[in-house]
Each structure stands twice: as structure tokens, then as C-alpha cells.
Amino acid sequence: MEFARYDVNKYSPRQMVALPLVLLLLAGLLLGYTTLATGLPITPGIDFAGGTAVTVFTSDSRETVEATFAGYPVLSVGEGIGNGKYIQFGPMEDARYQSLVGLINERYPDAKIDQIGETFGKTLQGQAFLALIFSFIGMAVVVMIAFRNLVPAGAVVLSAFADIAITAGIMQIIGIPLSLGTTAALLMLIGYSVDSDILLTTRLLKRKGKLEEKLSGAFRTGIIMTTTTLMAIAAMWVVATAGQIQIIAEIASVLIIGLFVDIMNTWMLNAGILKEYVLRGNKK
């Protein structure tokens, strides 16, 4: 754990906050552009956009399955345990959907077909958006009550917001869609972000001692906590990827990305703001 001994005190507050703020700005521009183009900040999966999910058990290769349904809007073909294939189709007209069902029943009689209507998908969009908004507002209220000081509370809220925004931007870049599973991962990320930020804020503002010693101690504790969590989630990602459990793999991927982003925002953005706040208080 050599990284836990890294000296975070050698940087000025301005140097610490520069990179997170630049990445937050870039993420905001990307998410804003995607919102204008699709109506959502991240490209939606079939949970939110509507579509058809088909589960089949066949020895056909992925290429063969894609060729079979080449005339339909295939989004992805996932492979699972025991020759399982999970095929996702985008929204289509009713006549084309009936044609697809006929082809599936002819080629794969034992297939399981699940359809999500576009209207229902939009309803799920609204519910997921409200869940994120209310979770974030609830977190901000609790933090304000706990610290009763605008600067430390604002730093925690800003850091949590940056975690979500930058993680969402990376999801858009690497192609992880917004689904019910990845929305749940973003909600979990809010909770973990606040946990690490409150650890930092409590150590720096509530404990006595030199600022450098308190910051270094908080950094060691926080990095050990985050590394332990990352190892557990990485193991979950390996198992889910090996077993081709797509939804679990996507959740684990979002959490891994989010935890690395949280390390940056907690120990650079939040720590830089708090360091400047404490130094100005000492000067006064």
C-alpha cells in the first residue's frame, strides 16, 4: 500500500482542484450535448428507450446469430453460460416486431422474448431521474445539517456531483448504456462518495492537530477503504464477465469507474477546497 503513504500536502489548493474542475467542465459539455441529441445525458439502453430482449440457448456463434437477425435493429448479442445468448433489439414497428417473433419461433422455438414498450421506457426514465434527484437532494440536506457551514458542506456536495457527472461522461465515451442497473450503480456511488467526503471533512475540521498531519492521516484511511472496496467490486466484475452476466458486469464497471473518480474528487477537489478554507481561517 505504498500509494497510501503518498504526500498529498506538497500541492497547493489551486493545484489540487485544477484537474477535477477541468474534467467536470468537459463532462458537463459532453453530457449537455448528449442530452440535446437524445433527450438523456447518457445513451439509454432498452430499459429506457424501449426494445426487445430475447434469450436463447443455441450452439450458434455470435456472428451466426447476428447474421440471422441482420434485417432487424440488433443492439447487442451477449453470450452466457451453457450456450446462452442474450439478444437486444431496438424499438420497431408492430409489423416488423411480429415478423421478428415469427423468425425467432421458427429458428429458436424455446426462446424467451421480453418486450419493453417505448412509452413504458419513458416512464422508467422519469422514475429513474426522480430517484437520482431526490437522492442527491436528500444527501445535500443531510450534509448541510451535519456541518452547518456552507463551505465544507458545499465541498461535499460539489465532490459528489462531480463523481456522478464525470462517471456518466466516461460511461458515454466507452459505451455503457443508461439502464436500471447502471442507474442503481450511480445511486450507490452517491452514498460512497458522501462517506469518503465526510471522513475527510470530519478529520480536518473536527480533530485537533496540524493540518498536514490530519490530511495525511485521513488520506491513508480513505485510500485503504477505497482500495478494499475496489478489490471486492473487481472480483465481482471478473466473475460477471466470465459468466457473461451483462447487467452485473455493467454495474461493476460503473462502480469501478466511479470509485477511481471519487479518489480524485475527494483527495484533490474536496481536499483542496477544505485546505484553502482551513488556511484562510488560520490567517484570520
Residues of the chain with pLDDT under 70: 1-9, 80-82, 117-121, 281-284
Q: Which pLDDT does position 21 carry in this prediction?
A: 94
Q: Which pLDDT does position 105 carry in this prediction?
A: 85
Q: Are 159 and 104 in contact (CB under 8 A)?
A: no
pLDDT tens digits, one per residue of 57-107: 888 888 888 888 888 888 877 776 667 778 888 888 888 888 888 888 888
User: Which cell numbers in the block locate residue 228?
Assistant: 478494499
User: Which cell numbers in the block locate residue 123?
Assistant: 416512464
Exposed / middle / buried, residue 106 (Cβ in 10 Å: 0-12, 13-18, 19+): exposed
User: Which cell numbers in the block locate residue 218?
Assistant: 485521513
Q: Where are the alpha helices (DSSP H) in the chain?
A: 13-38, 46-49, 62-68, 94-107, 118-147, 150-174, 180-206, 211-242, 246-264, 271-283
Q: Hey, what domains does the chain have and what are their CATH numbers?
A: 13-43+119-282 (1.20.1640.10), 51-116 (3.30.70.260)
**Closest CA relative to residue 257, chosen from 233, 232, 222:** 233
Rg over CA atoms, the chain = 23
CB neighbours of residue 131 within 10 Å: 14
pLDDT tens digits, one per residue of 162-193: 999 999 999 999 988 888 888 889 888 888 88
